[in-house]
């Protein structure tokens, strides 16, 4: 034996290594095989700590969610929710792969439940009924995890892969085909290379919703 006793593999070590790997090289670089070899172990060894790849991904997401931190409820519900969600967003910025993975998860792990419970608690300690809290959590949707729910990224720029921006004729044609998008792009300065401020959009929608929630709450709204 050339090696001394190696520190034994644990579920946590495996998950942490997977997260680190995804942070460094993207989620597609994380396979059972690559992860195993990064841990100096044979692929099948992972299955002693993780029941399959889905479980691995669930665990990775759980680890990220644990990093969301916990709120300061003395702020009042509105500021507290806002701070919590923005803190989630900040965490997610450090794990760019997590967004896509969260979108594919469906099992509510303890970490997921615990976070949702905490966030619900912020509303309810602000006087929200369980009923209103329920619907309000739905309305937030993916935003509770810290990201805006948008497909196809930035819809406001007239530079999709299907439009060649360097060819003026082609671009003029695109402007004719998609006049409203062109107008939006003009207004936001997207054509001059400026890209759209995702953080602003996130806060914009979040505040719109929080304002609406507040109104409902004050009005004593109930779904009945």
- Compute the least distance from the CB of residue 221 to DNA, in Å: 45
Three-class HEC string of the chain: CCCCCCCCCCHHHHHHHHHHHHHHHCHHHCCHHHHHHHCCCCHHHHHHCCCCHHHHHHHHHHHHHHCCCCCCHHHCHHHHHHHHHHHHHHHHHCCCCHHHHHHHCCCCCHHHHHHHHHHHHHHHHCCCCHHHHHHHHHHHHHHHHCCCCCCCCCCCCCCCCCCCCCCHHHHHHHHHHCHHHHHHHHHHCHHHCCCCCHHHHHHHHHHHHHHHHHHHHHCCCCCC
Q: Does 155 bind a second copy (CB under 8 A)?
A: yes
Choice from 66, 94, 142, 170 touching a second copy (CB under 8 A):
142
> Cβ closer to DNA: 53 or 175?
53
Least Cβ distance, residue 143 to a second copy (angstroms): 8
Report the site for a second copy in 57-116 (rule: CB under 8 A). 100, 102-110, 112-114, 116
Interface positions with a second copy (CB under 8 A): 100, 102-110, 112-114, 116-118, 120-121, 124, 129-131, 133-135, 137-139, 141-143, 145, 148-153, 155-156, 160-163, 177-181, 183-184, 186-188, 196, 200-201, 204-205, 208-209, 211-212, 216, 223
């Amino acid at each position: 034996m050339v090696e001394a006793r190696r520190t034994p593999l644990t579920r946590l070590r495996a998950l942490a290594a997977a997260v680190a790997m995804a942070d460094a090289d993207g989620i597609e670089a994380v396979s059972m095989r690559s992860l195993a070899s990064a841990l100096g172990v044979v692929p099948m060894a992972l299955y002693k700590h993780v029941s399959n790849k889905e479980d691995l991904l669930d665990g990775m997401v759980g680890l990220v969610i644990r990093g969301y931190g916990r709120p300061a409820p003395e702020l009042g519900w509105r500021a507290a929710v806002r701070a919590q969600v923005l803190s989630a967003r900040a965490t997610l910025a450090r794990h760019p792969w997590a967004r896509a993975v969260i979108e594919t998860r469906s099992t509510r792990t303890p970490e997921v439940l615990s976070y949702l419970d905490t966030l619900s608690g912020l509303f309810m300690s602000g006087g929200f009924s369980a009923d209103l809290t329920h619907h309000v959590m739905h309305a937030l949707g993916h935003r509770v995890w810290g990201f805006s729910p948008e497909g196809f990224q930035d819809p406001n720029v007239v530079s999709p892969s299907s439009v060649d921006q360097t060819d003026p004729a082609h671009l003029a044609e695109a402007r004719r085909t998609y006049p409203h998008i062109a107008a939006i792009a003009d207004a936001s300065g997207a054509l001059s290379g400026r890209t759209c401020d995702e953080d602003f959009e996130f806060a914009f929608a979040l505040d719109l919703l929080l304002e609406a929630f507040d109104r409902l709450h004050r009005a004593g709204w109930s779904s009945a």
